[in-house]
Structures are given as structure tokens and as C-alpha cells.
């Protein structure tokens, strides 16, 4: 099964004057580097990282063969654009995509657990759930990934796509 990772990191979130993506996290890694590595370790063949806020500073930190930063230039006015751009960057023919929001980091074990449940469960969407609340990561099949390539704020973005498939969603946790 071919799996891609999508890391949503376009929002203007700062701590101590530094973008969240560039925060020191684990050893010598930034949070964005760490999260991309977690997605790869969980089973993604490559990770598409959607950046917006401070993109010029974040891109050099992330760019490598299996991690591709992609600029969402309209990040301030187009929230759904982050998932749309990330989904559009995933190669056609990919069976599933595992999506994480940088503001809610998840380690490789948590990502792998949801991905494995998705692969074995046959649902269109598989999501983590913590104390009954749906969360991250979210794993989608190829058909849902195609819908995400067309997500817009006007149509409700990622959340609207997830609601449309509520009957085809498996929760883990």
C-alpha cells in the first residue's frame, strides 16, 4: 500500500517570537523536522509539508528527498487551502494519506496505530480519538484524498469532507 504524509504547517503560530515549525523539539530538530520524521517512521513514503507563515525560513530546514515543503501563499485568507495544496501534492495512485496538524504533534507510534487501523479496517477515513473527541492524525483513502484536492473554505474545508464521510469513519483510541 502506498502512503503519503501531509503535514499542515501554514498557520501563524508563534512561541517566544519564533514560528511553531522552527521551535526546538527533539535533540537538534525543529518541531517541523520532528513531525515529518514521525510521519516517515509511521509508514509514509514521503511527506508534503504545507507552509505559509515564515515559509522562507522554514523551507531550508525541511527540504530533503522525502520531505517536500510547499508554500501556501494565501495561508492567511484560505484555511482550506492548506489541506487542498497538501492533497494536490500527493502523487496520483497513492492509496492513503496520513494528515497531521503541526499544532497537534503526534509521534510515530500514534501515527502508525491509526495508519494500521486504516489499512486493516477498510474505512474511507480513520481518525484518532482522545477521550471521545476526534483528533489527529487523520488517515484518508484515495477517494477522500481526491475530495481534499478540491476543498474550499466556502464548502467547509477538511471538516466538511470528514462530516460527509462520518458513516465511513473508523475511530482509534
Domain count, the chain: 1
**Percent with pLDDT over 70 in the chain:** 100
CATH code assigned at 42: 3.90.550.10
Asked if pLDDT for residue 26 goes beyond 90, the answer is no
Whether pLDDT at 165 is above 90: yes
Asked if residue 124 has pLDDT above 90, the reply is: yes
Q: 88-91: long-range contacts (C-beta < 8 A, 24 or more apart)?
A: 88/149, 89/6, 89/48, 89/50, 90/4, 90/6, 90/48, 90/145, 91/2, 91/4
Q: Is residue 156's pLDDT more than 90? A: yes
Domain that holds residue 146: 3-172
- How many CB atoms are closer than 10 A to CB 120? 10
Q: What is the per-residue pLDDT for 41?
A: 98
pTM to 2 decimals? 0.95
Length of the chain: 173
Residue 112 DSSP one-character state = H
Amino acid at each position: 500500500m502506498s502512503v503519503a504524509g501531509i503535514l499542515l504547517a501554514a498557520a501563524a503560530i508563534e512561541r517566544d517570537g519564533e514560528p511553531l515549525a522552527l521551535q526546538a523539539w527533539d535533540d537538534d530538530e525543529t518541531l517541523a523536522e520532528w513531525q515529518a520524521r514521525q510521519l516517515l517512521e509511521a509508514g509514509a513514503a514521503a511527506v508534503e509539508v504545507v507552509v505559509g507563515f515564515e515559509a522562507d525560513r522554514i523551507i531550508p530546514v525541511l527540504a530533503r528527498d522525502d520531505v517536500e515543503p510547499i508554500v501556501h501563499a494565501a495561508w492567511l485568507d484560505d484555511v482550506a487551502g492548506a489541506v487542498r495544496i497538501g492533497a494536490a501534492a500527493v502523487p496520483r495512485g497513492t492509496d492513503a494519506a496520513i494528515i497531521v496538524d503541526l499544532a497537534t504533534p503526534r509521534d510515530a507510534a500514534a501515527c502508525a496505530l491509526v495508519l494500521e487501523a486504516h489499512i486493516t479496517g477498510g474505512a474511507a477515513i480513520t481518525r484518532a480519538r482522545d477521550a471521545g473527541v476526534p483528533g489527529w492524525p487523520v488517515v484518508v483513502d484515495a477517494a477522500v484524498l481526491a475530495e481534499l484536492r478540491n476543498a474550499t473554505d466556502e464548502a467547509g474545508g477538511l471538516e466538511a469532507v470528514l462530516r460527509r464521510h462520518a458513516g465511513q469513519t473508523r475511530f482509534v483510541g
